[in-house]
């Protein structure tokens, strides 16, 4: 008798766990940026620091209505977004330019997003925190 009750409890808990597309709703700002395997022949430390400082001035707001706002020192842009809860890929189509961006998150929680990007210059991990 205990086994069926435990199984039902497990199903209830797993069904009520928030999905990525629910956890991503909110305002997100950069907390930290890590650089690994940086190719110093392509990018200098001064340039890395400059890029990091600029990235920390950018934040984004994800709304429940399927839109998100990207705010930077250069202005704001609005995009329509969707989230694949299995792969943790957020797809954003910017309304003004129709440009599509896809972000593959390593981790999504209610308070933290971890984005890891690989480029020819190195591997960059950005940790966002919910405001």
The reported pLDDT for the residue numbered 79 is 98
Lowest-confidence pick of 19-28, 76-85, 112-121: 112-121
Average pLDDT over every residue of 27-42? 91
Residue 116, burial from CB neighbour count under 10 angstroms (0-12, 13-18, 19+): middle
Alpha-carbon distance of 33 to 48, in angstroms, equals 10
For residues 38 and 48, is the Cβ–Cβ distance under 8 A? yes
Calpha distance 43→17 (Å, rounded):
42
The tens digit of pLDDT for each residue in 38-52 reads: 888 888 888 888 888
Whole-Å CA distances, 79 to 47, 61, 62, 66, 76: 28, 10, 9, 8, 10
CATH topology of domain 20-130: Lipocalin (2.40.128)
pLDDT for position 91 = 97
Identify which has the larger pLDDT, 105 or 52. Answer: 105
Domain ranges across the chain = 20-130
pLDDT, position 39: 85
């Amino acid at each position: 008798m205990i086994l069926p009750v435990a199984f039902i409890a497990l199903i209830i808990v797993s069904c009520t766990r928030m999905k990525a597309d629910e956890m991503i709703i909110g305002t997100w700002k950069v907390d930290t940026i890590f650089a690994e395997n940086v190719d110093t022949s392509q990018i200098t430390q001064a340039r890395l620091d400059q890029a990091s400082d600029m990235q920390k001035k950018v934040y984004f707001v994800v709304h429940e209505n399927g839109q998100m706002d990207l705010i930077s020192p250069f202005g704001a842009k609005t995009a329509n977004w969707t989230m694949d809860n299995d792969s943790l890929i957020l797809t954003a189509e910017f309304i003004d330019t129709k440009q599509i961006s896809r972000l593959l998150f390593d981790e999504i929680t209610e308070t933290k997003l971890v984005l890891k990007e690989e480029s020819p210059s190195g591997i960059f991990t950005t940790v966002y925190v919910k405001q």
